[in-house]
Amino acid sequence: MWSVNPNIIILSLFILVGLATTVWGWKGVVKTKRVRNWPAIDGVITVCRPESEQNDLLPHIEFGYAVDGHDYVVTLQYPRGLTPDEEFKARCLEKYPKGATVRVHYDPADPSNATILDVVSDNWMIVAAGMLMTVGGIVLMIIHHGDR
């Protein structure tokens, strides 16, 4: 009868999770790089409320700007996975009061897609963690195979 060592299954899953994490992080790196290269113009905060429909700790912020004679008003979209706290909320409310001038980065292919958030990414850490998991799993599998 054929049997599978449970350690091999666990290590295989560990490697697969590592690969998935690496790919996910890399997609974030590519997206961040793309946004950093978007053109930037001045815009104005048109709405700033302490709470949004999403979360009591995420302020509702709208900003307006013009590209090629077309006016846009956009609601600020926060990054997925953001875990806000009172300090984050206070910083946003202080940095983006109604009427403040802000730097708007917009997608030249779709100027209605824009952000005022600083484009900073910790996605390299996600890539590194995924690679570490993958390589670590492979090394452990080799060691385990050598012990047979």
In a domain, 66, yes or no: yes
pLDDT tens across 40-57, in order? 999 999 999 988 777 888
* 1 occurs within a structural domain: no
On whether the CB atoms of residues 39 and 108 are closer than 8 A, the answer is yes
3-state class (DSSP) for residue 131 = helix
**pTM for the whole thing?**
0.64
- Which residues form the domain of 72? 6-146
Question: Does a structural domain hold residue 39?
Answer: yes
Count other C-beta atoms under 10 Å from residue 79's C-beta.
11
Instruction: Supply φ then ψ for residue 100, to 5 degrees.
Output: -70, 145
Number of domains present in the structure of the chain? 1
Half-sphere exposure of 17 (CA within 13 A, CB side): 10
- Percent of the residues in the chain that have a pLDDT greater than 70, as a whole number: 92
Nearest to 93 by CA among 53, 52, 48, 56: 48
